[in-house]
Amino acid sequence: MTEAHSSQPELPNLAGLLAEKLHGTPFGHYILLYENIIFSLVIVVFLSLVAYFASRKSSMIPGRLQLFMEIVVEGLDDFVCGILGPKGKRFTPFVGTLFIYILLMNLSGLIPFFKSATSSLSTTASLAVCVFIYVQYTAVKENGFFGYVDHLMGNPRGIIAFTVFIPVLLFFIHIISELVKPLSLALRLRSNVWAEDMLLAVTAQFGLGGVPLFLFNMFLTILSSVMQAVVFSLLSTVYFALVLPHHEE
């Protein structure tokens, strides 16, 4: 469920304007309720179309769109494999999709009458939960259930294993740490994007005299949007690195 609207400053968007036009009707209520989901789905449709047109006529001599997407994919693969090593290739589709999806949602708030879906905690929490579930699945798959429990206990060996207290303490500390990770991912992304959108909305109220400040804030918003997408993807990749076996094959 999306968040309820508050009295905070906000740039007008299509869904909000339509909901206002249909105020008092069930349709208008649901548009307002699922406003962030609507804009996130718009990004999904856009990315799907780009992927379709970039791959439908792939050739050894790529066109501009195919070439651009190949550069993006190669860059993301280098990014992920630079952290995870050769095993990282199987995580590139997930992490790469996260990065592109989050980046476009962050930047969509700069398009007139659009909104950044990542300014909603429900959106960022959903993304963080996806990362959490995939990381836990990978941990169990790569280490086995008991191997993962051993990892959470700090891989106790020798006399430390016989103390019992230390492994159990480390187990609960790691459990808390794993549960905090998605919360920190969600709150960090949402708070930054929400603050950027609110700042733009406030400076937009200054009229023509505030245009230079508005443009400067737009520039900062673009930089921050890219940085937040990178941070979310980077931390997600690091979480995978922490649960993957570290022994050399």
Distance of CA 187 to CAs 176, 226, 227, Å?
Answer: 17, 17, 15
Report the distance separating Cα 168 and Cα 186, nearest Å.
28
**pLDDT over 70 for what percent of the chain?**
93
- Cβ atoms of residues 198 and 169 within 8 Å: no
Please compute the mean of the pLDDT values over residues 167-195 and round it to a whole number. 91
- Cβ atoms of residues 32 and 19 within 8 Å: yes
Q: How far is CA 87 from the centre of its chain?
A: 22
**Phi/psi of residue 237, nearest 5 degrees:** -65, -40
- Cβ atoms of residues 109 and 197 within 8 Å: yes
Cβ contacts of residue 134 below 8 Å, gap of 6+? 94
Number of other CB atoms surrounding residue 221 within 10 Å: 22
Please compute the mean of the pLDDT values over residues 135-147 and round it to a whole number. 92
Q: How confident is the model at residue 1 (pLDDT cuts 50, 70, 90)?
A: very low
**Which pTM was predicted?**
0.87
Task: Check residue 26 and give its pLDDT.
Answer: 84
DSSP three-state, residue 158 = coil
